[in-house]
Structure 1
Amino acid sequence: MKFSDIGILIDKKNYAESSVILHFYTNSLGRQHFIFKGAKKKNKPLFPLGIYELTYAKRPESDLGIIQEISRVSGLNEIYVHPQKSLLAFFIAEILKSSLKQSHQDNSMFQFLKEEIIALEVSQNLYSFPLQFLAKFIVLSGYMPQIAKESGNFFDLQTGALVPLSSSRTLQLSSSQLSQLAFLFNGGVDDFLEDKLTVRQNLELLIDYCVVHVPGFQVKATREIIQDILYT
């Protein structure tokens, strides 16, 4: 049968001599896998986080669709010519391909991702972008930590809560970290995102938190590069 959909490209792997396997997060069916036969000969640009209109065929018994037509819905040229934005695109794509496994419609997640990709295209404040993206992704995925400053200044990675006493599984947070996290998860004044050191510390914290709580989450390929390029 023939189908059409809009999808966000989150992974690409070579297949045979001229074809590729593409992983999309789609508007209608969540994560889907496709083979794009002869892709290398067709000279079609396939960028991470690119938003594409797809026409494909798929048998009911198969998990793999066959792409017949593919075209970019949005130009997003700035992301792919700006080195730091390209790096952030790979960082976000790595998050998505490791943690978004559901093959069913999630309109809230799709719209969130689409809006964040468009925001990255025009963003001028890149050092805080990955932290803000990750905080929003955590909330939308249903893994929001309990950030109440009056509860203490030690963060328990296992429970995702602030506690008053130190233990083997807690991390002590500075007052600036606490204020920034409170803004990210509870709302408030965004002045707390101006401190690059604190942004870097909290990005590391939320990555570690996601590794514990979000099934499959990993950013092994881009974590250190993000830290070296954006925060040095």
Structure 2
Amino acid sequence: MIITSPAIVVHSLRYSEADLIVSLFTKTSGLRSYLLRGILKSKRGKLRSSLFQPLTILEIQAVHRDKGSLERIKEAKVKTMYKTLHTDYVKSALAFFISEVLKNAIHEEETNTALFEYLETTLLWLDTHNVVRNFHIAFLIKLTQYLGCYPDTSNIESEYFNMLDGVFQSQSNNTYCVNGERVVQLKRFLGTTFEESMDIGLSKNVRSDILAMLLVYFELHLHGFKKPKSLSVLNEIFN
């Protein structure tokens, strides 16, 4: 079956001398992996390796056999050209971090239009805004809405956040119950827009603590999720 769809580059991996395996989150077919033969040596082909930088938004035409194997891309072009995402060093670090999060968090080969539109909208927001110090925090929290594990805020006034159950409660009853400043500040992000989230003042330690807490939360709720290797770089930049 030939499909035409917008797609976001999640991950690319060199395979042999000249091939790439790329994972794309497509609007029509969910997460798919493609084998791009000879792309690293090709100078005249329709596809260029530069198209497959992390989080590039593409328009692709692809052949899907839907047999659980690697699919084939016939054509690809940039759907929306970024202005700063791959040139600004802070945003570039955020892009690598987000692509790692998505690589570990999304596994379904099924349509999820709402998630695709969320990713596209937030990436374009990141590209066009200058104040992005809390972007990764807001991004992760809002991402849980589309992954089915958004925190239950019905008892948000309670002191403890139970990461295992995703609820706020008045007492600690397991090792994944946390409290303190990181929970106080986490509550400020819940229900806010990206613009409002950027105005939340955080010390470098609290920002780092919230991020670490959220990654543990993802590990608890998303099967196979692993802490991104780019975390140390991101913490260094924002600290």
Shift in alpha-carbon separation, 1:71–1:159, aligned structure 2, 3 A: same
Question: SS of the residue aligned with 2:143?
Answer: helix
Task: Name 1:203's counterpart in structure 2.
Answer: 211
Shift in alpha-carbon separation, 1:125–1:17, aligned structure 2, 3 A: same
Task: Name 1:229's counterpart in structure 2.
Answer: 237
Q: Is the 8 A contact 1:2 1:56 kept in 2?
A: yes
Shift in alpha-carbon separation, 1:61–1:139, aligned structure 2, 3 A: closer
- Tell whether 2:7 aligns with 1:7: yes
Shift in alpha-carbon separation, 1:86–1:104, aligned structure 2, 3 A: same
Task: Name 1:181's counterpart in structure 2.
Answer: 186
CA shift, 1:16, in A, is: 2.1
TM (normalized to structure 1)? 0.89
Question: SS of the residue aligned with 2:157?
Answer: helix
CA shift, 1:105, in A, is: 0.7
Farther off after superposition, 19-28 or 154-163: 154-163
Structure 1 distance, partners of 2:64, 2:168, is 48
- Tell whether 2:143 aligns with 1:132: no
Letter in 2 for 1:16: S
Structure 1 distance, partners of 2:80, 2:148, is 29
Task: Name 2:21's counterpart in structure 1.
Answer: 21
CA shift, 1:60, in A, is: 4.8
* 1:121-179 per-position Cα deviation (integer Å, ceiling 9, x unaligned): 1121222000000010012211112343432x2222212222323455122222xx444
Task: Name 1:150's counterpart in structure 2.
Answer: 157
Letter in 1 for 2:78: R
Structure 2 distance, partners of 1:24, 1:167, is 40
Farther off after superposition, 10-19 or 103-112: 10-19
Structure 1 distance, partners of 2:198, 2:23, is 37
- Greater helix fraction, Structure 1 or Structure 2: 1
Question: Quick one: which of 89, 94, 99 aligns to 1:93?
Answer: 99
**RMSD, aligned CA:** 2.1
* 1:74-100 per-position Cα deviation (integer Å, ceiling 9, x unaligned): 111411111111111111111111111
Structure 2 distance, partners of 1:33, 1:57, is 11
Residue ranges of structure 1 left out of the alignment (5+ in a row):
none
CA shift, 1:201, in A, is: 2.3
Q: Is the 8 A contact 1:179 1:192 kept in 2?
A: no
Task: Name 2:45's counterpart in structure 1.
Answer: none
Task: Name 2:225's counterpart in structure 1.
Answer: 217
CA shift, 1:5, in A, is: 1.6
Q: Is the 8 A contact 2:97 2:228 kept in 1?
A: no
- Tell whether 2:77 aligns with 1:71: yes
Task: Name 2:179's counterpart in structure 1.
Answer: 172
- Tell whether 2:117 aligns with 1:114: no
Structure 1 distance, partners of 2:80, 2:198, is 32
Shift in alpha-carbon separation, 1:204–1:192, aligned structure 2, 3 A: farther
Shift in alpha-carbon separation, 1:73–1:191, aligned structure 2, 3 A: closer
Structure 1 distance, partners of 2:5, 2:121, is 17
CA shift, 1:29, in A, is: 0.4
Letter in 1 for 2:77: S
Task: Name 2:40's counterpart in structure 1.
Answer: 40
Task: Name 1:31's counterpart in structure 2.
Answer: 31
Question: SS of the residue aligned with 2:14?
Answer: strand
Letter in 2 for 1:165: Q
- Tell whether 2:111 aligns with 1:105: yes
Question: SS of the residue aligned with 1:104?
Answer: coil
